[in-house]
Chains A and B, each alone.
Chain A
Amino acid sequence: MGYQLNFAPVWRDFDLLLSGLALGIGMALVSVLLVGNLIGLVAAFAMTAKSATLRRIAGVYVTTIRNLPIYFLMLVAFFVLPQQLGVRIDKVHAFTGTLSIYAGAYLTEVYRGALLALPKGLREAGLAIGLTERQTRLWVIIPVMVRNALPALSNNFISLFKDTSVAAAIAVPELTFYARQINNNTFRVIEVWSVCSLMYVAACYLIAAGLRFAERRMAIPH
């Protein structure tokens, strides 16, 4: 054996690892909290809409995406679609797009559950004070629903953040990509992977703590 632990090569490139982690968190924020959330909200309303066509479209979207691996979706978005459409897509954009669509499907389920759990009186109360259907939805239903959905949203956000590591497979320079690069350059196998995974664990903890804080701040006062 005689393997001497030597973390020096890892610390030397630690700024690279940190920048990779930042990119991962950034991609997760944009695609989950921004785009995915929007898709999820719209699709959740579509799934509970009166129109059967809307319901079916949203249902097909959710079922399809939830039953496909993200690695597959990413390869399609990065290799197949640009080639078919004859355009070039930047790999970060390709992955952010993939993650948005992927996250949208999971968040649809979260919001659909939250929507169905709302008491009926909420909508009726909104209508009774003279709000239109759309105003009720925007100012009464969505605020309550989103706050109720926050715990499930946090869980999904963390697991979707972990999915950003998959982007390393198309050379998006995030944490896993740099870890692999350092691994291949220095063969400091144990050091690199322990630091890399600990960074993910720490990031997950920090995100979870932050989201729990937000949950408490935004909780409906009793």
Chain B
Amino acid sequence: MDFTRFFADLWIARFALVEGIGMTLVISGIAIVLGTLLGIGVALSLVYGGRLQRFVVRIFLEYVRGTPVFVLILACYYLLSGVIQLTPFQAGLIALTVFCSSHVGENLRGALLALPKGQTEAGKAIGLTFCQNFIYVLAPQALRQALPAWINTAAELVKASTLLAVIGVVELMLTTRQIIAIKPRPLEFYFVAGLVYFLICFSIERLGRAVERRVALPS
């Protein structure tokens, strides 16, 4: 293996690689933000919604959780581009957002339901309205519970974003394949891509563990 030649190739490909990494981070990042917002809505409707609302959201959740993320991505890509013109980026973003919202929704629902009933009652007893009770009593505890799994979801999303290469979003995986098409060094460039993915996911995982220790309820 000729390392100097490889590093020369790597140097030539540096902008493409950085752009690919950027795209991976940007699309996962936006999907996490939007997916979390949607997921909060999902969790709230599951816990506090009326019967019909609960039913509809439950169906959505079961459906999305039973469907592989790759199928979600392909379905969003083909379906939505048939109805409204969407770029691969937008279609992929929608798919990842929906995927993320199902994880966050289920996670938060579990955290909210795990709170002892006495918390709600205590809040009511001291005269808090439902909103005040939720914001000051329930949410802080539930978020603590849900935070480690939420960070895990972020790593899941980064991994799922590789599949966007199939629908033509130029993120790190597709960038790597494009570079290899020009500079045929598959082993080396795949190694670089793998290293980047590992570093991203590993740091997220470590962050998750640190946060978990930090926010754990003192016992």
Could you list which residues of chain A lie within 8 angstroms of chain B, going by C-beta atoms?
63-64, 66-72, 75-76, 79-80, 83-84, 162-166, 168-169, 176, 179-180, 183, 187, 189-190, 193, 196-197, 200-202, 204-205
Q: Which residues on the B side are within 8 Å of A162 (C-beta)?
A: 66-69
Q: Which residues on the B side are within 8 Å of A200 (C-beta)?
A: 66-68, 71
Looking at the assembled complex, report how far the CB atom of A221 sits from the nearest CB atom of chain B, in whole angstroms. Answer: 29
Query: Is there an interface contact between B71 and A197, defined as CB atoms closer than 8 Å?
Result: yes
B194 close to A (CB within 8 Å)? yes
Query: Is there an interface contact between B62 and A63, defined as CB atoms closer than 8 Å?
Result: no
B82 close to A (CB within 8 Å)? yes
B168 close to A (CB within 8 Å)? no
Known contacts A72-B173, A166-B163: A67-B62 contact under CB 8 Å: no
Q: Please, how many angstroms separate the alpha-carbon atoms of A64 and B197 in the complex?
A: 10
Query: Is there an interface contact between A67 and B162, defined as CB atoms closer than 8 Å?
Result: no
Q: Please, how many angstroms separate the alpha-carbon atoms of A202 and B67 in the complex?
A: 9
Select one of A68, A83, A166, A204 contacting B197, CB under 8 A: A68
- Interface of A (DSSP majority class): helix
Summed over the interface, the residue pairs from A and B with CB atoms below 8 Å come to a total of 102
Q: Which residues on the A side are within 8 Å of B190 (C-beta)?
A: 72, 75-76, 80
Q: Which residues on the A side are within 8 Å of B201 (C-beta)?
A: 66-68
Looking at the assembled complex, report how far the CB atom of A66 sits from the nearest CB atom of chain B, in whole angstroms. Answer: 8
Q: Please, how many angstroms separate the alpha-carbon atoms of A204 and B198 in the complex?
A: 29
Q: Which residues on the B side are within 8 Å of A84 (C-beta)?
A: 186-187
Q: Which residues on the A side are within 8 Å of B70 (C-beta)?
A: 165-166, 168-169, 176
Known contacts A64-B198, A190-B79, A204-B66: A176-B71 contact under CB 8 Å: yes
Chain A residue nearest in CB terms to B62: A201
Looking at the assembled complex, report how far the CB atom of A177 sits from the nearest CB atom of chain B, in whole angstroms. Answer: 10
Q: Which residues on the A side are within 8 Å of B198 (C-beta)?
A: 64, 67-68
Query: Is there an interface contact between B186 and A83, defined as CB atoms closer than 8 Å?
Result: yes
Q: Please, how many angstroms separate the alpha-carbon atoms of A164 and B78 in the complex?
A: 20
Chain A residue nearest in CB terms to B80: A189
